[in-house]
Copies of this chain bind each other. A is one copy, B any other.
Amino acid sequence: MNAPFDPAAGTDRVDLGALTGSLGFLLRLAQVRIYAQFFAAFAGTPVRPGEFSVLWVIDLNPGVPQGTLARVLAIKPAHMTKLVQRLVEAGLVARETPATDRRAVHLTLTAAGRAHLDRYRDAFLAVHAAERTGLSEAEADELMRLLSKLAFPPEARPCP
């Protein structure tokens, strides 16, 4: 039998058992902590991780189709539609329907979009450096290498 919870044993001393060996569980907890650091760093700014990554990728790939963007960033098309609408309404992104395929929507940054990216780019990179709390540089590099193997399976590996 499992020992009943003992409040006298100290605050929140809970047995997690094999849960601490669960990759999905660890990923979730790690992400919760890293995102909390992100939101703390960008409190008071309009920067949110999803939107900023979208602006980032449009900047590097001007004219990228909206659906391609959704696949690469693992954002559902229905959600991407609303996300892009917000960015267009904010004046950061321009949509264009190419003559060659009038179903498609190609995205580019406006001047304001580039300015927004430039304004927060350094802070965005800095927070990811600061995020490495408790890890050495070598550990952080190894962690990102291993996460990349999960994040980019062979069929979804980005071009270098």
* A57 adjacent to B147 (CB under 8 Å): no
* B63 adjacent to A5 (CB under 8 Å): yes
**B residues within 8 A CB of A159?**
9-10, 13-15
**B residues within 8 A CB of A21?**
128, 144
A149 to B14, CA, bound (A): 17
Range of interface residues on chain A?
35 or more
Question: DSSP class of A's interface residues: helix, strand, loop or mixed?
Answer: helix
Known contacts A23-B128, A60-B17, A65-B5: A146-B142 contact under CB 8 Å: yes
**B residues within 8 A CB of A5?**
61-65, 68, 106
Is A134 among interface residues, defined by CB-CB distance under 8 A?
A: yes
* A140 adjacent to B23 (CB under 8 Å): yes
> How many monomers of this chain does the complex have?
2
Known contacts A140-B23, A148-B20: A12-B60 contact under CB 8 Å: no
Known contacts A15-B158, A159-B13: A26-B151 contact under CB 8 Å: yes
Would you list 18 pairs from A and B whose C-beta atoms are within 8 A, ordered by A residue?
A5-B63, A5-B65, A7-B65, A12-B72, A14-B57, A14-B64, A15-B60, A15-B61, A20-B148, A22-B53, A22-B125, A23-B140, A25-B49, A29-B147, A31-B31, A139-B146, A139-B149, A143-B150
